[in-house]
């Protein structure tokens, strides 16, 4: 199990994500908040559970770090 960040960018109600998967909900939330800070179009953000394997971590000092 993993967690993925999701955002809404328009009024359709659709949620959009990418291939980032995190071990904890907090890491996914930090990634989503980082995206909110960089994208002007984000209206809402959330995190959801995923069956995909974890492939990233969120480091408080480095930010997004790929797991190799």
Residue 5: per-residue pLDDT: 97
Residue 61: per-residue pLDDT: 93
Residue 25: per-residue pLDDT: 98
Residue 68: per-residue pLDDT: 81
Please state the pTM of the whole predicted model: 0.91
Could you list the residue range(s) of the whole structural domain that residue 19 is in? 2-66
pLDDT by 10-residue block (mean), the chain, 68 residues: 96 95 98 92 96 97 93
The domain tally of the chain equals 1
Whose structure tokens read 């953000």? 45
Q: What is the largest CA-CA distance in the chain?
A: 37
Q: How many CB atoms lie within 10 A of CB 68?
A: 4
Residue 10: per-residue pLDDT: 93
């Amino acid at each position: 199990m993993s967690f993925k960040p999701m955002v809404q960018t328009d009024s359709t109600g659709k949620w959009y994500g990418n291939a980032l998967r995190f071990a904890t909900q907090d890491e996914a939330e930090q990634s989503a908040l980082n995206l909110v800070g960089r994208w002007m179009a984000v209206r809402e953000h959330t995190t959801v559970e995923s069956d995909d394997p974890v492939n990233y971590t969120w480091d408080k000092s480095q930010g997004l770090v790929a797991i190799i």
